[in-house]
Amino acid sequence: MVAISLRDIHLSFGNVEVLKGISLDISKSEVACIIGPSGSGKSSLIRCINGLNKINKGKVDVLGVDISNPSVDKIRLRTKVGIVFQQYNLFPHKTVLENVMMAPILVLKEDKNKVKERATKLLEKVKLTDKLHAYPGELSGGQQQRVAIARSLAMQPEIMLFDEVTAALDPETVKEVLVTIKELAEDGMTCVLVTHEMGFAKEIADTIYFTDGGVIVEHGPPNEIMCSPQDARTKRFLEQVL
């Protein structure tokens, strides 16, 4: 079953065309990794999937709903698709637990006690049980990023987007975040990752997409892309990063 389907999407910021016709299909429970050089449009692409970027042309279908349609219920969409950002973007004036509980209570209008139970469980899952009442400023980058993941998961999304989530982290905390993502993927969550962690992408991905200059240059299973890339640009990029 197809979870995400992009058809010939174009995106411009002012005069700069960032995405020049991208099409891809990601099925349910698939883990897709988007790799490519900086400025190739990876982050812009992932933000189109939950409507944070409004596309200029094309069609984005998420869980069977055409989200490029202006009349689509954006808020409903956002609750189905969680996103985790490079800079965590936690709410600094709220505790860890409050960060996780806020959206389900305010947006989904769920019962506070039920949400609290779920939030506590999620924070246990990301191994932050001892930090429930800490503020984001008191946590390390890796811990903050795990809170951000728990915060997205609290909305019980069907798709999770990860936008270079380890790029701002210290090397020793990268692993703890990757472990969390891996567990999610193993639980059958549909995941789309923009990442620079090639080893991790190879290990976790079902499909790897290599983007350059606003287009998908090639895609396929990790072994194919990593070990025997067909396009010269992919080859050059992999030589540089591996």
**Strands, E assignment, 77-214:** 81-84, 159-163, 190-194, 207-212
Question: Is there binding between residue 13 and other proteins (CB under 8 A)?
Answer: no
CB 41 within 8 A of CB 19: yes
The pair of structure tokens assigned to 223 is 């072994």
CB of 93 vs other proteins, minimal distance in Å: 5
Member of 21, 52, 110, 120 binding other proteins (CB under 8 A): 52
Member of 2, 8, 92, 183 binding other proteins (CB under 8 A): 92
CB of 79 vs other proteins, minimal distance in Å: 5
Burial 203-223 (b: 16+ CB within 10 A, else e): ebbebbbbbbebebbbbeebe
Member of 12, 27, 87, 173 binding other proteins (CB under 8 A): 87
CB 19 within 8 A of CB 214: yes
Residue with smaller CB distance to other proteins, 63 or 198: 63
Rounded distance, CA 35 to CA 55, Å? 21
CB of 50 vs other proteins, minimal distance in Å: 6
Helices (H) and strands (E) in the chain, counts: 9, 10
Q: Which amino acid is at 32?
A: A
CB 161 within 8 A of CB 205: no
Residue with smaller CB distance to other proteins, 3 or 139: 139
Residue 132 in 3-state DSSP? coil
The contact pattern for other proteins, residues 136-155, with x = CB under 8 A and - = no contact, is -xx------------xx--x
Residue 2 in 3-state DSSP? strand
Question: Is there binding between residue 75 and other proteins (CB under 8 A)?
Answer: yes
| CA-to-CA separations, 174 to 89, 142, 145, 152, in angstroms, rounded | 17, 7, 10, 19
Question: Is there binding between residue 103 and other proteins (CB under 8 A)?
Answer: yes
CB of 147 vs other proteins, minimal distance in Å: 12
Rounded distance, CA 216 to CA 76, Å? 29
Size of the site for other proteins (CB under 8 A): 26
**Applying CB under 8 A, which part among 14-22, 29-37, 112-120, 135-143 lies near other proteins?**
135-143
Question: Is there binding between residue 50 and other proteins (CB under 8 A)?
Answer: yes
Q: Report the interface residues with other proteins, using CB under 8 A.
A: 50, 52, 75-76, 78-79, 82-83, 85, 87, 89-93, 102-103, 106-108, 135, 137-138, 151-152, 155
